[in-house]
């Protein structure tokens, strides 16, 4: 096939723009002007189908370099209203009222698990096990926060999950069972203490397949052709087995990069062995295992992200899963095995520890007989970075992965709230993806979603809009037809962290390929690479930034084959 008369935005620095290209056996074999490509076809004396695109816009297939396809199947289907009855509740009283209704509606349930919106609704008046016990005493009730980093349990649920008054925290400051001044459990639990609860929500294989298919079809329809699945807290075998079976049935058209996720310090000693087992057992052409993932810290909103400067309201500093010396030792072992490393790092101290370890191992690699440092280390989220550390991504070659759809301040990161947690100044200076990008570091972009609840937010074009504007369409005045509109949404500070569209496209294509170590075969429209590309009716650079979230590619090609979009 040859494609002509297009505006090809290649992401190849040596030839940023082209008019045409030829594709053979799923790869780009010639990229250039119309004449060059037609000449190439003539020289090779092949009958080629010519696709005249009449000035349409072409860009490489998108790489979503951190998201959670399988985990979202654990978070409940979107068609069950009962799973999300408390989403918009603004206070403790409203949540308790909704719980009463739910119990009235389903009096014979043995287990009530549901999501509520955001913990900020409870900042002044926390909800405890005692409040829940007054409504349901003998059956477990679990209220999970929408972000899934914390939950509130009634006494029956604490018993059900065997959380006792003397159960130790998993990682101090990070994964903890909150206690009141008398040392009694309050029912509030954070981070990875929630894993048994998620495990209790394990979907059937059928539900898992439904969730995977639904998400993959949506993501492909929005131009995503390669995905890094940033991990699952439970049931890894079930999930990997399902992906492999689906791939063998031809139902995984995208490339999936999976990982083994570490969320408990006790998982670290056997992590590499387990990773190798997964790789040997479940790897296929489309499903690859190249990366270890670690939940290294938490989030600011529940004071679990690890800070250098303490939280303004509690004076605590959060925590990390393992200590810096333990991290160093583990990273050395990963480097020895050639396994890339992807870490959840939200707080400034979490990132600094990772940077220190990389610095140390690079220095060791330069010593005589030292083992060269060869793995890719990625810090994901990077919400609060110390000024002194900003240049270290570039200097140390650490990939910075950000989720642009957060740049409008969703998930309770409203400026007032951030100031309450982080102090006046630091609270207004988070999510600095532009500054990191401008240092010359490799910055990659992702959707990092875990819900089937609002598919729009998975779209890379939604991410591009919020990345460019720092305004979240969901927070603006809806248009007359009810469609979301970011124009009237508040601008999330600092305004000079707005990214350019060029940066966003780079972060969603070639930089994602660099993160995954596949930039020799993906991420740009370049001779020798896989022919993954998108055809768009409009030039992305001419689209009103506030309409970017509505962009849907006309056609999506993976390895030169057009994907049928349902
Ligand atoms: Zn994630």
Q: What is the mean pLDDT of each run of 10 residues along the chain (566 residues)?
A: 96 97 96 96 83 96 96 64 67 89 84 78 88 93 86 95 94 93 95 88 89 94 98 94 96 97 96 98 97 96 96 96 98 98 98 98 96 98 96 98 94 85 95 98 95 88 98 94 93 97 98 98 98 97 97 97 78
Q: Which structural domain range is residue 162 located in?
A: 77-200
CATH number of the domain enclosing 127: 3.10.310.70
- Residues 96 and 168 both lie in one domain: yes
Q: What is the whole-number distance in angstroms between the Cα of residue 497 and the centre of ligand 1?
A: 22
Q: Which of 174, 200, 226 is the last residue of a domain?
A: 200
Q: What is the whole-number distance in angstroms between the Cα of residue 229 and the centre of ligand 1?
A: 8
Q: What is the whole-number distance in angstroms between the Cα of residue 70 and the centre of ligand 1?
A: 12
DSSP-assigned states of every residue in 402-431:
E-GGGTTT-TT--HHHHHHHH-TTGGGS--
| Contact assessment for residue 209 and residue 45, using Cβ atoms and an 8 Å cutoff | no
Give the angle 425-428-429 at the CA atoms, nearest 5°: 90
Q: What is the whole-number distance in angstroms between the Cα of residue 59 and the centre of ligand 1?
A: 26
Q: What is the whole-number distance in angstroms between the Cα of residue 148 and the centre of ligand 1?
A: 11
Task: Look at residue 539 in the predicted model and tell me its pLDDT.
Answer: 97
Q: What is the whole-number distance in angstroms between the Cα of residue 445 and the centre of ligand 1?
A: 12
Provide the domain count of the chain: 3
Q: Which of 167, 200, 233 is the last residue of a domain?
A: 200
- Residues 165 and 207 both lie in one domain: no
Q: What is the whole-number distance in angstroms between the Cα of residue 87 and the centre of ligand 1?
A: 21
User: What stretches of 346-486 adopt beta strand conformation (E)?
Assistant: 377-381, 399-402, 443-445
- Provide the 8-state DSSP code for 77: -
Torsional sign, CA 89, 92, 94, 98:
positive
Q: What is the whole-number distance in angstroms between the Cα of residue 258 and the centre of ligand 1?
A: 13
Q: Which of 172, 200, 228 is the last residue of a domain?
A: 200
- Residues 34 and 99 both lie in one domain: no
Tokens 């022919």, residue?
A: 531
Give the span between the Cα atoms of 161 and 156, in whole angstroms.
Answer: 9
Q: What is the whole-number distance in angstroms between the Cα of residue 451 and the centre of ligand 1?
A: 11
Q: What is the whole-number distance in angstroms between the Cα of residue 8 and the centre of ligand 1?
A: 32
Q: What is the whole-number distance in angstroms between the Cα of residue 235 and the centre of ligand 1?
A: 17
- Residues 35 and 103 both lie in one domain: no
| Contact assessment for residue 357 and residue 279, using Cβ atoms and an 8 Å cutoff | no
Q: What is the whole-number distance in angstroms between the Cα of residue 30 and the centre of ligand 1?
A: 37
Q: What is the whole-number distance in angstroms between the Cα of residue 353 and the centre of ligand 1?
A: 19
Instruction: Answer yes or no: is 559 within a domain.
Output: no
Task: Look at residue 85 in the predicted model and tell me its pLDDT.
Answer: 65
Q: What is the whole-number distance in angstroms between the Cα of residue 278 and the centre of ligand 1?
A: 20
Residue 30, strand partner residues: 22
Q: What is the whole-number distance in angstroms between the Cα of residue 40 and the centre of ligand 1?
A: 44
For residue 15, CA distances in Å to 54, 182, 510, 527 come to 21, 67, 14, 11
- Residues 209 and 315 both lie in one domain: yes
Q: What is the whole-number distance in angstroms between the Cα of residue 37 and the centre of ligand 1?
A: 42
Task: Look at residue 202 in the predicted model and tell me its pLDDT.
Answer: 85
- Residues 300 and 360 both lie in one domain: yes
Task: Look at residue 410 in the predicted model and tell me its pLDDT.
Answer: 79
Q: What is the whole-number distance in angstroms between the Cα of residue 25 and the centre of ligand 1?
A: 35
Write out the H or E segment, with its range, that includes residue 59. Answer: strand 57-60
């Amino acid at each position: 096939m040859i494609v002509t008369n297009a505006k090809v935005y290649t992401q190849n620095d040596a030839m940023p723009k082209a008019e045409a290209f030829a594709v053979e056996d799923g790869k780009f074999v010639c990229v250039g002007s119309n004449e060059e490509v037609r000449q190439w076809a003539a020289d090779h004396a092949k009958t080629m189908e010519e696709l005249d695109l009449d000035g349409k816009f072409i860009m490489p297939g998108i790489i979503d370099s951190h998201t959670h396809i399988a985990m979202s199947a654990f978070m409940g289907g979107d068609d069950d209203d009962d799973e999300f009855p408390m989403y918009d509740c603004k206070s403790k009283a409203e949540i308790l009222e909704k719980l009463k209704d739910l119990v009235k509606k389903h009096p014979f349930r043995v287990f009530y698990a549901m999501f509520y919106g955001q913990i900020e609704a409870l900042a002044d008046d926390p909800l405890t096990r005692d409040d829940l016990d007054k409504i349901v005493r003998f059956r477990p009730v679990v209220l999970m926060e929408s972000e899934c980093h914390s939950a509130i349990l009634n006494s029956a649920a604490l018993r059900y999950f065997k959380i006792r008054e003397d159960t130790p925290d998993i990682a101090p400051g990070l994964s903890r069972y909150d206690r009141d001044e008398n040392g009694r459990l309050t029912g509030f639990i954070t981070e990875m203490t929630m894993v048994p609860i998620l495990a209790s929500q394990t979907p059937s294989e059928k539900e898992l397949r439904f969730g995977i298919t639904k998400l993959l079809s949506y993501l492909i329809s929005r131009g995503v052709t390669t995905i890094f699945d940033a991990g699952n807290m439970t049931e890894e075998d079930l999930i990997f087995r399902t992906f492999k079976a689906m791939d063998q049935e031809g139902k995984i058209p995208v490339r999936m990069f999976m990982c083994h996720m570490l969320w408990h310090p006790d998982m670290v000693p056997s992590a590499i062995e387990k990773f190798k087992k997964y790789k040997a057992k479940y790897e296929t052409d489309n499903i690859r295992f190249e990366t270890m993932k670690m939940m290294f810290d938490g989030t600011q909103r529940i004071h679990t992200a690890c800070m250098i400067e303490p939280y303004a309201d509690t004076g605590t500093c959060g925590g990390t899963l393992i200590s810096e010396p333990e991290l160093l030792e583990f990273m050395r072992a990963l480097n020895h095995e050639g396994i890339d490393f992807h870490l959840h790092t939200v707080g400034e101290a979490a990132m600094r520890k990772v940077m220190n370890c990389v610095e140390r191992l690079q220095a060791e690699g330069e010593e005589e007989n030292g083992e060269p440092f060869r793995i890719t280390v990625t810090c994901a989220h990077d919400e609060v970075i110390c000024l002194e550390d900003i240049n270290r991504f570039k200097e140390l070659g650490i990939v910075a992965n950000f989720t642009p759809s957060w740049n409008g301040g969703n998930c309770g990161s409203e400026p007032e709230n951030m100031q309450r947690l982080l102090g006046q100044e630091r609270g207004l200076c988070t999510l600095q993806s532009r500054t990191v990008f401008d240092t010359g570091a490799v910055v990659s972009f992702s959707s990092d979603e875990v819900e089937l609840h609002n598919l729009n937010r998975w779209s890379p074009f939604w991410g591009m809009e919020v990345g460019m504007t720092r305004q979240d369409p969901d927070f603006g005045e809806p248009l007359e037809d009810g469609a979301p509109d970011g124009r009237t949404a508040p601008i999330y500070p600092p305004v000079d962290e707005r990214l350019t569209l060029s940066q966003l496209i780079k972060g969603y294509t070639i930089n994602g390929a660099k993160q995954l170590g596949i930039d020799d075969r993906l991420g740009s429209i370049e001779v020798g690479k896989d022919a993954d590309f998108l055809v768009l009716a409009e030039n992305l650079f001419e689209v009103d930034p506030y309409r970017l979230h509505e962009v849907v590619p006309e056609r999506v090609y993976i390895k030169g084959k057009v994907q049928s979009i349902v």
